[in-house]
Structure formats: structure tokens, C-alpha cells
């Protein structure tokens, strides 16, 4: 039996100057289907969903919804036809309540007066339809007072969104989409900041929406998620649709080969450890969410910080870089005590942080690649008030060349780069004069398998050149297999430090979840 497509794109082409972002792309979404959209960064996924969302208008091709040609030239057009996109960076107003966010701009009113009671009742009904039963079961399986408090807050729809966990905020975002009678739901990297339990809640919600007839386009770099969740998979490469296949007929290796056009090793390459002197030592460090942590990192070593979401990994990195105040404890660099009260203190001591959120905390997104690469070294290419263009160009060109940043020209806006090239820009800008200690917080978040491989190669080069690296990642396999030693963190406390070769992934997970106590 032939199933009539809910959404059909035929020959969609979109160009930016001389660059073809989408090249005669065909794509089909059925009613009641979860359809995964895969591809390396820069393959055209973001452009495709922006075409669907009315942000970009294609030069050629047609869009059909329920068999009818449907021009989408504005965001309002997309909304009117039931297309809602939930981006990786959520667009909620943190100071407004759950109900106010769901009905923002469409608040029920009568004679000009807000009908708050009706709005709250409608919001509660929508939230309840999104799987709070499953969420509550997940919370009971892993008792945690904080999660229980958040659950209670979500049920109270007048609670400010800022008080909710990321998983709950995503449920609010989905509820807002469904409140507009969305037929087509597009999710871009929805699990990048979720724990395993929260991911299961989201998956249960998406399956329920699929059963209700909603068409879902799901974008993720996590291939194991795709194979568990999706009904069909379409792969883009270099702006072209390579093909579509039933998820049940492919495996991870097939997808990788399909995406990048070659095989990529399915294992990590830990850099050789040469056992240098201690670069960074932390003794009894206390902060807002860090409790008595101590460890040491040697030159030429990758020191992994492993923990589940909320374990305090990023909070520890923020202490070491002077973003959050150190309440107690000592930090030593090269055996000498250093006082870190501000990021400039950390930089002067030779400590650099590549933050988790490159768009909000790392790069100046409205500026060029050259601006971002030269920014930390202004004192070297500006004498008095006179810029030295040749010196600035040398800094920029060296970083682009050494890190293989793919850019049309150095003055291209960094926001136009793929996620992988943005990440390489963020790391490269600190290496004009190599830091002693490089803290990498989620260095492969939101990048594809090809860019991930390149980041691993860069990490190996930095470590083998003698740099000390502190690696933070929510991918526990990544931490385990790239690090020489691993510190296990839970609830802001250091459980223990262990050589990576002396612990298995299963044991690590068991200790971090509390299934095994030491």
C-alpha cells in the first residue's frame, strides 16, 4: 500500500554566493513517521530545515504538503502550514512561566483581558500529554530530590522556565509546537545536553507523537540514537541527498560510510604518554558546586573528567578558569601557587578553557573567522593605536593552515561555518602561543563523525607536543579511550582517579550512577 507523503521536497536548490548549500535535494516525510536526517557538518542539514522554516527561500524546487504545492517564504508561512522547528539552542523566555511560554503571542483573552485560568488548564493538558508518567517513572528509578522538585515544578505551569532542567524545557518547547496544531516537527540535536534517563523520556514522547500522526524530522550526530528511534534515514553529503533507507536495514558502519564517503575507524586513538612533569595541580578545591576536589595533570597527558549530567564537570572547569569564585583550596602551575580570581589570571598562568557552548561563550558569532582567531593576540598586532595588518594576517593564516579550518576566506563570518570548523576555530585561536594547560569542555558536541575524527587528531598533536589537556565529555567512551587517566566525579565530589587502562566502561558507568560504591 502506497502511503501519501505528508511533506515532499522536489529538486530544492539553495545557493549562497558561489557556494551551493543544497543541490537538487529530494526529501519525503510520511505522516506518523520519525525520519532521521544525517550528514557531516556542512552537508546541508541546517540549510534544509531553514528552508522548511521559512528562513531561507530556495532558488529552485518545490515544497508540497499533503500533496499540494506550498510555497514557504517566511517563518509565518511555515507556522501557518504546521511546521515547527525546535533548534539545539532552545528559544524559551526563562523569566516567563511554562504556560506563558507555550502560548506566547497567542494568549487566550476575552474583551482584551487575559484568561489566565484557561491558559493554565490548556498548558497543563498539553504537558500531561507529553509523557509525565514516563518521566516520573524514570525519576523513581533513580531517586533524586532535585529531579522530583523539578517534576513538581513542571506540573505547576506557572513555574518560570528557568527553574526547569533541560529535558523539561524541551518538553515545554514541544508542547508549544503542538499548541499550534503542528503537523511537522523538526528537532535539531535534541539530546546534546540530556542525560540517558532524560533522553528516554524524550524518545517516549516522540514515539507517542508519531503514533498520533505527527511527522517528525530528527537530526542528530549520535548514530546509535538514530538507529533506535528512526523509521527511515536520509543522508546528505555536500548539499546532495545521497539516498533514503529503512533504519532497520543499516548499521552504524553503513551510516558512517554513507555520510563521509569512506570508512572511519570505530575506535579512538589515545596519544602516546611521555610522562612529563606536573603542569597543573589542584588541592582541596571548593566552589559553589565543587567539594574538596584534588588532582594533578602532567605535561603530555590527557586527564579526563568523567561524570553524568550535573556531576560538576563544567563547574570545575569554570573554577579553574576564574569564571566562578574559588571558595577554598589551592591551584599550582609548574609547582608554583597561582591565585585565580578572573579569567585573565588563568590566562596569565597558562590555563585556557574551550567552553562547552561555543556560540554563547566561545566565539563572537557576528564577527569574521579572522577576528576570532586574532582576538586573544591584539597586544601583538596593535602597537599603540596602529594595527599591524601583516602580523595579524600571519597569526590568522597560521591558525587556519595548522588546524585545517575550511573557510572561503578569513573574513567570512564565523557563524557561516559548520559546527566542526567553528570548533576548530575556537581551539586554534589559543595556540599562537601554546598554553600550558588546555581544558576542553565537550570538544565534539554537535559535530559530525568526520569533524570528530579531525578533533581527535588535533588533540593527539597537542598532547604529543607536550601540552597538558583536561578533557570533559558527556560521551563516557570518548573520555575513557582518549584519556591516560580519568577522574570520576559525582555530585561535585571526586570519587577516585584511575588509569584509563585499569577501568572498563561498564565499571565507570556503575560507579558514576552509584550502582557500585567504593
Q: What is the pLDDT of residues 110-160, one digit of tens each?
A: 888 888 888 888 888 877 776 543 444 444 444 455 444 444 545 578 888
Average pLDDT, the chain: 84
Given phi > 0 = left and psi -120 to 50 = alpha, else beta, which region is 292? left
Q: State mean pLDDT over 361-371.
A: 91
pLDDT at 93: 85
Q: State mean pLDDT over 390-405.
A: 90
d(CA 98, CA 167): 13
Q: What is the pLDDT of residues 436-460, one digit of tens each?
A: 999 999 888 767 667 777 888 888 8
pLDDT at 244: 93
Q: Which CATH superfamily is domain 264-350+435-518 in?
A: P-loop containing nucleotide triphosphate hydrolases (3.40.50.300)
Cell of 500: 584509563
Per DSSP, 375 falls in state G
Q: State mean pLDDT over 235-258.
A: 86
Q: State mean pLDDT over 456-478.
A: 88
Buried b (16+ CB within 10 A) or exposed e, 453-486: bbbbebbbebbeeebbbbbbbbebebbbbbbbbb
pLDDT at 155: 56
d(CA 454, CA 193): 22
Q: State mean pLDDT over 99-112.
A: 84
Of residues 427, 440, 433, 435, the one with CA closest to residue 377: 433
Q: What is the pLDDT of residues 296-322, one digit of tens each?
A: 999 999 999 998 767 889 899 999 999
**Residue range(s) occupied by CATH 3.40.50.300 in the chain:** 1-82+185-262, 264-350+435-518
Q: State mean pLDDT over 57-65.
A: 94
Highest mean pLDDT: which range of 41-45, 91-95, 485-489: 485-489
pLDDT at 195: 66
Regarding the domain delimited by 1-82+185-262, which CATH topology (the fold level of the hierarchy) does it fall under?
Answer: Rossmann fold (3.40.50)
Per-residue 3-state assignment (H helix, E strand, C coil) for 324-351: CCCCEEEEEECCEEECCCCHHHHHHHCE
Q: Which carries the bigger pLDDT value, residue 419 or residue 214? A: 214
Of 101-110, 175-184, 191-200, where does mean pLDDT reach its minimum?
191-200
- What pLDDT band is residue 36 in, cutting at 50, 70 and 90? very high
DSSP secondary structure letters along 59-121: SEEEEEETTEE----SHHHHHHTTEEEE-SS----TTSBHHHHHTTT---EETTEE-HHHHHH
Q: State mean pLDDT over 157-182.
A: 79
Of 45-49, 76-80, 144-148, 322-326, where does mean pLDDT reach its minimum?
144-148
The residue behind cell 523520556 is 201
Q: Kindly give the residue spans of alpha helices, DSSP state H, lying in 362-504.
A: 369-374, 378-381, 389-403, 419-428, 449-464, 476-482
Amino acid at each position: 500500500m502506497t502511503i501519501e507523503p505528508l511533506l515532499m521536497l522536489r529538486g530544492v536548490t539553495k545557493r549562497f554566493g558561489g557556494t551551493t548549500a543544497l543541490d537538487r535535494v529530494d526529501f519525503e516525510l510520511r505522516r506518523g513517521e520519525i525520519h532521521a536526517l544525517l550528514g557531516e557538518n556542512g552537508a546541508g542539514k541546517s540549510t534544509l530545515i531553514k528552508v522548511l522554516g521559512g528562513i531561507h527561500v530556495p532558488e529552485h524546487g518545490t515544497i508540497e504538503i499533503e500533496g499540494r504545492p506550498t510555497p514557504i517564504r517566511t517563518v509565518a508561512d511555515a507556522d501557518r502550514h504546521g511546521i515547527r522547528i525546535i533548534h539545539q539552542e532552545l528559544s524559551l523566555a526563562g523569566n516567563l512561566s511554562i504556560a506563558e511560554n507555550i502560548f506566547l503571542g497567542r494568549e487566550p483573552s476575552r474583551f482584551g483581558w487575559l484568561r489566565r485560568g484557561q491558559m493554565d488548564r490548556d498548558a497543563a493538558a498539553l504537558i500531561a500529554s507529553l509523557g509525565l508518567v514516563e518521566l516520573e517513572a524514570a525519576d523513581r528509578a533513580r531517586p533524586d530530590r532535585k529531579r522530583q522538585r523539578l517534576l513538581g515544578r513542571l506540573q505547576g505551569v506557572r513555574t518560570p522556565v528557568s527553574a526547569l532542567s533541560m529535558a523539561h524545557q524541551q518538553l515545554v518547547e514541544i508542547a508549544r509546537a503542538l499548541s499550534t496544531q503542528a503537523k511537522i516537527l523538526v528537532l535539531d540535536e535534541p539530546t546534546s545536553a540530556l542525560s540517558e534517563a532524560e533522553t528516554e523520556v524524550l524518545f517516549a514522547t516522540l514515539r507517542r507523537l508519531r503514533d498520533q500522526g505527527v511527522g517528525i524530522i530528527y537530526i542528530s550526530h549520535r548514530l546509535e540514537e538514530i538507529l533506535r528511534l528512526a523509521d527511515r534515514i536520509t543522508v546528505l553529503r555536500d548539499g546532495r541527498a545521497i539516498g533514503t533507507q529503512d533504519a532497520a536495514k543499516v548499521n552504524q558502519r553503513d551510516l558512517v560510510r554513507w555520510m563521509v564517503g569512506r570508512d572511519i575507524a570505530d575506535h579512538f586513538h589515545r596519544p602516546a604518554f611521555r610522562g612529563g612533569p606536573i603542569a597543573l595541580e589542584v588541592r582541596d578545591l571548593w566552589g559553589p558546586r565543587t567539594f574538596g576536589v584534588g588532582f594533578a595533570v602532567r605535561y603530555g597527558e590527557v586527564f579526563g573528567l568523567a561524570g553524568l549530567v550535573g556531576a560538576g564537570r563544567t563547574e570545575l572547569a569554570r573554577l579553574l578558569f576564574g569564571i566562578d569564585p574559588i571558595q577554598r583550596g589551592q591551584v599550582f602551575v609548574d609547582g608554583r601557587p597561582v591565585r585565580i580570581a578572573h579569567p585573565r589570571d588563568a590566562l596569565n598562568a597558562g590555563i585556557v578553557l574551550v567552553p562547552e557552548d561555543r556560540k554563547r561563550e566561545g566565539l563572537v558569532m557576528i564577527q569574521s573567522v579572522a577576528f576570532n582567531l586574532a582576538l586573544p593576540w591584539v597586544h601583538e598586532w596593535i602597537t599603540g593605536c596602529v594595527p599591524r595588518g601583516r602580523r595579524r594576517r600571519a597569526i590568522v593564516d597560521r591558525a587556519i593552515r595548522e588546524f585545517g579550518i575550511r573557510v572561503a576566506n578569513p573574513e567570512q563570518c564565523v557563524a557561516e561555518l559548520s559546527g566542526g570548523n567553528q570548533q576548530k576555530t575556537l581551539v586554534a585561536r589559543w595556540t599562537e602561543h601554546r598554553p600550558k594547560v588546555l581544558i576542553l569542555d565537550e570538544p565534539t558536541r554537535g559535530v559530525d563523525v568526520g569533524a570528530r575524527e579531525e578533533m581527535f587528531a588535533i588533540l593527539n598533536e597537542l598532547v604529543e607536543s607536550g601540552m597538558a589537556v583536561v578533557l570533559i565529555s558527556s560521551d563516557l567512551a570518548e573520555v575513557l579511550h582518549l584519556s591516560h587517566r580519568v577522574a570520576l566525579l559525582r555530585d561535585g565530589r571526586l570519587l577516585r582517579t584511575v588509569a584509563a587502562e585499569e577501568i572498563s566502561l561498564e565499571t565507570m558507568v556503575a560507579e558514576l550512577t552509584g550502582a557500585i560504591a567504593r
